[in-house]
Amino acid sequence: MTRILVTGGAGFIGSHLCRRLLAQGHTVICADNFRTSAAESIAELDDDPAFSFLHHDVTQPLHVEAEQIYNLACPASPIHYQNDPVATLKTSVLGTLNVLELARATGARVLQASTSEVYGDPQIHPQHEGYWGHVNPIGPRACYDEGKRAAETLMCDYHRQHGSEIRIARIFNTYGPRMHWDDGRVVSNFIIQALHDEAITIGGDGSQSRSFCYVSDLVEGLIALMNVTGPDADRPVNLGNTHEVSIRDLALRIIALTGSASVLESIPLPTDDPRQRQPDIARAEALLGWSPRVTLEEGLKATIVDFRARKVLRDA
Protein backbone atom coordinates (compact mmCIF):
# COMPACT_ATOMS: atom_id res chain seq x y z
CA MET A 1 0.00 0.00 0.00
CA THR A 2 1.34 3.42 -1.02
CA ARG A 3 0.12 6.84 0.12
CA ILE A 4 -0.51 8.76 -3.10
CA LEU A 5 -1.45 12.40 -3.77
CA VAL A 6 -3.31 13.16 -7.00
CA THR A 7 -3.56 16.88 -7.73
CA GLY A 8 -6.41 17.64 -10.10
CA GLY A 9 -7.86 14.36 -8.90
CA ALA A 10 -11.49 15.39 -9.45
CA GLY A 11 -10.87 16.09 -13.13
CA PHE A 12 -11.56 13.76 -16.03
CA ILE A 13 -8.31 11.78 -16.02
CA GLY A 14 -7.72 12.36 -12.30
CA SER A 15 -11.02 10.81 -11.24
CA HIS A 16 -10.28 7.68 -13.26
CA LEU A 17 -6.76 7.54 -11.84
CA CYS A 18 -8.01 7.84 -8.24
CA ARG A 19 -10.41 4.94 -8.78
CA ARG A 20 -7.73 2.74 -10.28
CA LEU A 21 -5.25 3.47 -7.50
CA LEU A 22 -7.87 2.70 -4.85
CA ALA A 23 -8.70 -0.55 -6.64
CA GLN A 24 -5.03 -1.46 -6.38
CA GLY A 25 -5.20 -1.02 -2.60
CA HIS A 26 -3.46 2.32 -2.20
CA THR A 27 -4.34 5.25 0.04
CA VAL A 28 -5.32 8.21 -2.15
CA ILE A 29 -5.45 11.92 -1.35
CA CYS A 30 -7.28 13.87 -4.04
CA ALA A 31 -6.50 17.60 -4.19
CA ASP A 32 -8.62 19.86 -6.40
CA ASN A 33 -10.11 23.35 -6.43
CA PHE A 34 -13.04 22.41 -8.73
CA ARG A 35 -12.11 25.16 -11.18
CA THR A 36 -12.85 22.92 -14.17
CA SER A 37 -14.03 19.79 -12.36
CA ALA A 38 -16.97 18.82 -10.17
CA ALA A 39 -17.46 17.15 -6.83
CA GLU A 40 -19.85 14.69 -8.46
CA SER A 41 -16.98 12.98 -10.28
CA ILE A 42 -15.56 11.68 -7.01
CA ALA A 43 -18.66 11.76 -4.77
CA GLU A 44 -18.97 7.99 -4.31
CA LEU A 45 -15.31 7.72 -3.32
CA ASP A 46 -16.04 9.50 -0.03
CA ASP A 47 -17.28 6.20 1.39
CA ASP A 48 -13.88 4.56 0.84
CA PRO A 49 -11.76 4.85 4.01
CA ALA A 50 -8.62 4.84 1.85
CA PHE A 51 -9.75 8.03 0.07
CA SER A 52 -9.58 11.60 1.30
CA PHE A 53 -10.24 14.93 -0.37
CA LEU A 54 -8.35 18.20 0.01
CA HIS A 55 -9.93 21.34 -1.43
CA HIS A 56 -6.80 23.12 -2.59
CA ASP A 57 -5.37 25.30 -5.36
CA VAL A 58 -1.88 24.10 -6.29
CA THR A 59 -0.71 27.65 -6.89
CA GLN A 60 -0.51 27.71 -3.08
CA PRO A 61 1.96 25.47 -1.17
CA LEU A 62 0.76 22.02 -0.08
CA HIS A 63 1.49 20.32 3.23
CA VAL A 64 0.60 16.63 3.07
CA GLU A 65 2.51 13.38 3.42
CA ALA A 66 2.76 11.22 0.30
CA GLU A 67 5.15 8.73 -1.24
CA GLN A 68 4.02 9.41 -4.79
CA ILE A 69 2.49 12.52 -6.39
CA TYR A 70 0.62 12.62 -9.69
CA ASN A 71 0.44 16.27 -10.73
CA LEU A 72 -2.61 16.52 -12.99
CA ALA A 73 -3.79 19.95 -11.83
CA CYS A 74 -4.40 22.21 -14.84
CA PRO A 75 -7.31 23.03 -17.17
CA ALA A 76 -6.75 20.86 -20.25
CA SER A 77 -9.31 21.89 -22.86
CA PRO A 78 -8.86 25.07 -24.93
CA ILE A 79 -12.21 26.53 -23.87
CA HIS A 80 -11.20 26.18 -20.21
CA TYR A 81 -7.52 27.11 -20.28
CA GLN A 82 -8.14 30.14 -22.53
CA ASN A 83 -10.92 31.40 -20.24
CA ASP A 84 -8.30 32.62 -17.74
CA PRO A 85 -4.90 32.24 -19.41
CA VAL A 86 -2.95 33.85 -16.56
CA ALA A 87 -4.44 31.41 -14.05
CA THR A 88 -3.64 28.54 -16.43
CA LEU A 89 -0.01 29.57 -16.67
CA LYS A 90 0.22 30.02 -12.90
CA THR A 91 -1.24 26.55 -12.37
CA SER A 92 1.36 24.94 -14.61
CA VAL A 93 4.35 26.89 -13.31
CA LEU A 94 3.59 27.75 -9.67
CA GLY A 95 1.61 24.55 -9.22
CA THR A 96 4.46 22.38 -10.44
CA LEU A 97 6.92 24.35 -8.32
CA ASN A 98 4.80 23.78 -5.20
CA VAL A 99 4.42 20.08 -5.96
CA LEU A 100 8.18 19.74 -6.44
CA GLU A 101 8.84 21.54 -3.17
CA LEU A 102 6.45 19.18 -1.41
CA ALA A 103 8.20 16.20 -2.99
CA ARG A 104 11.57 17.58 -1.98
CA ALA A 105 10.40 17.87 1.64
CA THR A 106 8.80 14.41 1.78
CA GLY A 107 11.02 12.43 -0.59
CA ALA A 108 8.07 11.61 -2.85
CA ARG A 109 8.38 10.64 -6.50
CA VAL A 110 6.52 13.08 -8.79
CA LEU A 111 4.81 12.36 -12.11
CA GLN A 112 4.04 15.44 -14.17
CA ALA A 113 1.05 15.18 -16.50
CA SER A 114 2.50 17.00 -19.50
CA THR A 115 0.90 17.06 -22.92
CA SER A 116 1.38 16.53 -26.62
CA GLU A 117 0.77 20.27 -26.89
CA VAL A 118 4.45 20.77 -26.03
CA TYR A 119 5.05 19.75 -29.66
CA GLY A 120 2.79 22.57 -30.90
CA ASP A 121 1.87 22.36 -34.59
CA PRO A 122 4.49 19.68 -35.30
CA GLN A 123 6.81 19.71 -38.26
CA ILE A 124 7.57 16.00 -37.92
CA HIS A 125 5.12 13.12 -37.93
CA PRO A 126 4.62 11.11 -35.79
CA GLN A 127 6.02 12.99 -32.81
CA HIS A 128 8.79 11.40 -30.73
CA GLU A 129 10.15 12.60 -27.39
CA GLY A 130 13.35 13.97 -28.91
CA TYR A 131 11.40 16.54 -30.96
CA TRP A 132 11.60 20.02 -29.41
CA GLY A 133 8.34 21.26 -30.88
CA HIS A 134 6.96 24.13 -32.96
CA VAL A 135 5.03 26.36 -30.55
CA ASN A 136 3.77 29.92 -30.90
CA PRO A 137 4.84 31.50 -27.56
CA ILE A 138 2.49 34.51 -27.88
CA GLY A 139 -0.65 32.90 -29.29
CA PRO A 140 -3.93 32.17 -27.47
CA ARG A 141 -2.86 28.57 -26.76
CA ALA A 142 0.52 29.56 -25.32
CA CYS A 143 -0.73 29.77 -21.72
CA TYR A 144 -1.18 26.00 -21.84
CA ASP A 145 1.54 24.96 -24.30
CA GLU A 146 4.30 27.07 -22.78
CA GLY A 147 3.06 26.48 -19.25
CA LYS A 148 3.45 22.75 -19.72
CA ARG A 149 6.86 23.21 -21.34
CA ALA A 150 7.98 25.34 -18.38
CA ALA A 151 6.66 22.68 -16.00
CA GLU A 152 8.83 20.07 -17.74
CA THR A 153 11.81 22.41 -17.33
CA LEU A 154 11.14 22.74 -13.60
CA MET A 155 10.85 18.96 -13.26
CA CYS A 156 14.16 18.36 -14.99
CA ASP A 157 15.97 21.15 -13.11
CA TYR A 158 14.78 19.82 -9.75
CA HIS A 159 16.03 16.41 -10.82
CA ARG A 160 19.44 17.79 -11.81
CA GLN A 161 19.82 20.27 -8.95
CA HIS A 162 18.13 18.45 -6.07
CA GLY A 163 18.07 14.80 -7.16
CA SER A 164 14.26 14.77 -7.21
CA GLU A 165 12.67 11.58 -8.50
CA ILE A 166 10.61 12.65 -11.51
CA ARG A 167 8.48 11.13 -14.25
CA ILE A 168 7.09 13.09 -17.22
CA ALA A 169 4.13 11.81 -19.24
CA ARG A 170 3.32 13.59 -22.50
CA ILE A 171 -0.38 12.80 -22.81
CA PHE A 172 -2.01 12.73 -26.24
CA ASN A 173 -5.75 13.28 -26.84
CA THR A 174 -7.62 11.25 -24.23
CA TYR A 175 -11.36 10.59 -24.05
CA GLY A 176 -13.88 8.45 -22.21
CA PRO A 177 -16.70 8.50 -19.64
CA ARG A 178 -16.88 11.45 -17.26
CA MET A 179 -15.42 13.94 -19.73
CA HIS A 180 -16.58 17.43 -18.82
CA TRP A 181 -19.90 18.10 -20.57
CA ASP A 182 -18.84 21.56 -21.78
CA ASP A 183 -15.09 21.10 -22.25
CA GLY A 184 -15.23 22.04 -25.94
CA ARG A 185 -13.09 19.14 -27.17
CA VAL A 186 -14.07 17.31 -30.32
CA VAL A 187 -15.14 13.97 -28.84
CA SER A 188 -17.46 15.48 -26.26
CA ASN A 189 -18.67 18.21 -28.63
CA PHE A 190 -19.48 15.75 -31.39
CA ILE A 191 -21.26 13.30 -29.09
CA ILE A 192 -23.41 16.03 -27.51
CA GLN A 193 -24.29 17.50 -30.91
CA ALA A 194 -25.11 14.04 -32.28
CA LEU A 195 -27.31 13.12 -29.30
CA HIS A 196 -29.28 16.34 -29.90
CA ASP A 197 -29.42 15.79 -33.70
CA GLU A 198 -27.66 19.13 -34.10
CA ALA A 199 -25.17 20.00 -36.83
CA ILE A 200 -21.72 18.66 -35.97
CA THR A 201 -19.29 21.55 -36.27
CA ILE A 202 -15.87 20.66 -37.64
CA GLY A 203 -12.96 23.06 -38.12
CA GLY A 204 -12.21 23.75 -41.75
CA ASP A 205 -12.69 20.73 -44.01
CA GLY A 206 -12.01 18.28 -41.17
CA SER A 207 -8.89 16.83 -42.77
CA GLN A 208 -6.76 17.63 -39.69
CA SER A 209 -5.95 14.48 -37.75
CA ARG A 210 -5.73 13.33 -34.14
CA SER A 211 -4.98 10.09 -32.31
CA PHE A 212 -7.44 9.34 -29.51
CA CYS A 213 -6.51 7.29 -26.44
CA TYR A 214 -9.19 5.75 -24.21
CA VAL A 215 -8.88 6.87 -20.61
CA SER A 216 -8.38 3.41 -19.07
CA ASP A 217 -5.39 2.82 -21.34
CA LEU A 218 -3.94 6.20 -20.41
CA VAL A 219 -4.34 5.55 -16.68
CA GLU A 220 -2.51 2.22 -16.96
CA GLY A 221 0.30 4.04 -18.76
CA LEU A 222 0.54 6.68 -16.04
CA ILE A 223 0.74 4.08 -13.29
CA ALA A 224 3.34 2.05 -15.20
CA LEU A 225 5.46 5.17 -15.72
CA MET A 226 5.22 6.21 -12.07
CA ASN A 227 6.47 2.81 -10.92
CA VAL A 228 9.16 2.10 -13.50
CA THR A 229 12.78 2.41 -12.39
CA GLY A 230 16.06 2.66 -14.25
CA PRO A 231 18.48 5.19 -15.70
CA ASP A 232 16.05 6.52 -18.33
CA ALA A 233 12.92 6.72 -16.18
CA ASP A 234 13.27 10.49 -15.69
CA ARG A 235 13.00 11.28 -19.42
CA PRO A 236 9.64 12.27 -21.01
CA VAL A 237 7.44 9.47 -22.30
CA ASN A 238 4.63 9.78 -24.87
CA LEU A 239 1.37 8.13 -23.82
CA GLY A 240 -1.32 7.91 -26.48
CA ASN A 241 -2.92 5.80 -29.16
CA THR A 242 -1.13 5.57 -32.51
CA HIS A 243 -4.35 5.11 -34.52
CA GLU A 244 -4.69 8.36 -36.46
CA VAL A 245 -8.09 9.56 -37.67
CA SER A 246 -9.27 12.71 -39.40
CA ILE A 247 -11.70 14.96 -37.53
CA ARG A 248 -14.22 14.50 -40.33
CA ASP A 249 -14.00 10.72 -40.03
CA LEU A 250 -14.40 10.95 -36.26
CA ALA A 251 -17.60 12.98 -36.71
CA LEU A 252 -19.02 10.46 -39.18
CA ARG A 253 -18.23 7.57 -36.83
CA ILE A 254 -20.01 9.27 -33.96
CA ILE A 255 -23.06 9.98 -36.14
CA ALA A 256 -23.20 6.29 -37.08
CA LEU A 257 -22.70 5.02 -33.52
CA THR A 258 -25.39 7.33 -32.08
CA GLY A 259 -27.85 6.81 -34.91
CA SER A 260 -28.03 10.59 -35.19
CA ALA A 261 -29.65 12.68 -37.90
CA SER A 262 -26.87 15.25 -37.58
CA VAL A 263 -25.10 16.69 -40.60
CA LEU A 264 -21.62 18.17 -40.81
CA GLU A 265 -21.09 21.93 -40.68
CA SER A 266 -17.76 23.63 -41.34
CA ILE A 267 -16.54 26.39 -39.02
CA PRO A 268 -13.23 28.31 -39.02
CA LEU A 269 -10.20 26.50 -37.63
CA PRO A 270 -9.09 27.74 -34.20
CA THR A 271 -5.88 29.79 -34.09
CA ASP A 272 -2.71 27.65 -34.00
CA ASP A 273 -4.75 24.44 -34.20
CA PRO A 274 -2.30 21.60 -35.05
CA ARG A 275 -2.82 19.93 -38.40
CA GLN A 276 -1.56 16.53 -37.28
CA ARG A 277 -1.10 14.81 -33.96
CA GLN A 278 0.12 11.23 -33.56
CA PRO A 279 2.46 9.83 -30.90
CA ASP A 280 5.52 7.72 -31.44
CA ILE A 281 5.16 5.35 -28.46
CA ALA A 282 8.26 3.20 -29.06
CA ARG A 283 9.78 4.51 -25.83
CA ALA A 284 6.67 3.63 -23.78
CA GLU A 285 6.60 0.17 -25.32
CA ALA A 286 10.26 -0.47 -24.53
CA LEU A 287 10.44 1.17 -21.09
CA LEU A 288 7.00 0.30 -19.72
CA GLY A 289 5.83 -2.63 -21.81
CA TRP A 290 2.75 -0.46 -22.43
CA SER A 291 0.56 0.04 -25.45
CA PRO A 292 -3.13 0.96 -25.73
CA ARG A 293 -5.67 -1.86 -26.01
CA VAL A 294 -9.07 -0.19 -26.46
CA THR A 295 -10.06 0.45 -30.08
CA LEU A 296 -11.60 3.76 -31.11
CA GLU A 297 -14.97 2.13 -31.79
CA GLU A 298 -15.02 0.38 -28.39
CA GLY A 299 -14.04 3.56 -26.60
CA LEU A 300 -16.55 5.73 -28.44
CA LYS A 301 -19.37 3.28 -27.67
CA ALA A 302 -18.60 3.39 -23.94
CA THR A 303 -18.28 7.18 -23.99
CA ILE A 304 -21.57 7.58 -25.85
CA VAL A 305 -23.34 5.39 -23.26
CA ASP A 306 -22.05 7.70 -20.51
CA PHE A 307 -23.05 10.90 -22.30
CA ARG A 308 -26.46 9.50 -23.20
CA ALA A 309 -27.14 8.66 -19.53
CA ARG A 310 -26.07 12.14 -18.44
CA LYS A 311 -28.26 13.70 -21.12
CA VAL A 312 -31.28 11.91 -19.67
CA LEU A 313 -30.50 13.35 -16.23
CA ARG A 314 -29.92 16.85 -17.62
CA ASP A 315 -33.16 16.73 -19.62
CA ALA A 316 -35.24 15.47 -16.68
CA dihedral 226, 301, 265, 279 (to 10 degrees): 30
Q: Report d(CA 56, CA 19) in Å as an integer.
A: 20
Q: List the catalytic residue out of 119, 144, 158, 175.
A: 144
Q: Among candidates 82, 86, 155, 84, which has minimal Cα distance to 117?
A: 82
Q: Among candidates 254, 252, 256, 275, which has minimal Cα distance to 264?
A: 252
Phi and psi, residue 100, nearest 5°? -65, -35
Q: Report d(CA 272, CA 234) in Å as an integer.
A: 30
Q: Among candidates 83, 53, 55, which has minimal Cα distance to 180?
A: 83
- The question of whether 144 is a catalytic residue gets the answer yes
249 within 8 A of 132, measured Cβ to Cβ: no
Indicate which residues carry an active-site annotation: 144
